[in-house]
Amino acid sequence: MQTTIGKSVELVGIGLHKGSPVRLRLEPLDAGSGIIFFRSDVNVTIKLKPENVVDTKMATVIGTEGYFISTIEHLLSAVYAYGIDNLRIIVDADEIPVMDGSSSSFCILLDEAGIVSQDRAKKVMRIKKEVSIKEGDKYVKLTPSSDLKYDFTIKFNHPVISKQQFEFNFSKESYKNEISRARTFGFLHEVQYLRSKGLALGGSLENAVVLDDKKVLNPEGLRFSDEFVRHKILDAIGDMSLIGLNFIGHYEALAGSHDLNHKLTLELLSSSENYEVVELSRAKEKEMLKAYA
């Protein structure tokens, strides 16, 4: 069945770009409502759908009527992993708080709220045909599969990162243990440039892994030896939530990005031949029921 949260919950954190406090509140919604964002500071509602994506350069940003909400992917990654269908996300600023740069704080918030079943059948999207976006040697693609898997490869000309590959077989518990704690990362020269442009003012070693030319600058080091590619999977899970449903299929990426993920969701939804929508209450496949129970 469809799900929402059991009670309203909220937290306050720092916005990555402006460095100002942001209040985030999650509220239950009725079955069939979907995921809806609301900016309480300007009284504007923004529905979660690919057409509302307005920027993908450094984060996934949705907007309408000239108003936007930035850096939605970490929160959505947790919401998607928890299989939540209906939710109202309220912020009093133009970005989601960055917390520690991962999605673990949002998992804790969702655990506090609790997940409740509703009186309508849950629907998921089954990938029927290969769908891909390729730009140079970078690509993202979806292929049919009986379960949900993310396979991501990154390559950086940096001694700490180099080439990393991680294959993640989805389950909620595996997500919490293997993916949710992986933090966003960036390079010191990029941070300095962004700050010169009035961006990343809230960025620090408290909410990102920062590297200079040779090493990780965070005194505590990494949470995983391959934390970088795990965070890319965290991002991809959040970005793919823009299709509006959990999906069954195999996601694969080489040097994927928010922009490529966005283009992939548009390409997927461009033809009904690419997918079918299945009610879980009628599904026979054990994998589907296990993944999204």
For the annotated catalytic residues, the residue numbers are 258
> Distance between CA atoms of 27 and 38, rounded to whole angstroms?
11
Beta strands in 15-104 (DSSP E): 21-28, 35-39, 44-47, 53-55, 61-64, 67-69, 87-91
What lies within 8 Å, CB to CB, of 34 at 6+ separation is 47, 48, 85, 86, 244
- In angstroms, the Cα distances linking 194 to 66, 121, 212, 265 are 23, 45, 15, 28
Please report how the helices 104-113 and 73-81 are oriented relative to each other, as an axis angle in degrees rounded to 10: 50
> Distance between CA atoms of 277 and 207, rounded to whole angstroms?
37
Across-strand partners of 250? 143, 149
Residue 178 burial class via C-beta count within 10 angstroms: exposed 0-12, middle 13-18, buried 19 and up: middle
DSSP 8-state code for residue 74 = H
Please report how the helices 227-240 and 73-81 are oriented relative to each other, as an axis angle in degrees rounded to 10: 80
Query: How many other CB atoms are there within 10 angstroms of residue 192's CB atom?
Result: 10
Is the distance from CB of 36 to CB of 87 less than 8 angstroms?
yes
Q: Is 243 helix (H, G, I), strand (E, B) or coil?
A: helix
φ and ψ of 212, to 5 deg: -95, -160
- In angstroms, the Cα distances linking 257 to 4, 190, 196 are 29, 17, 24
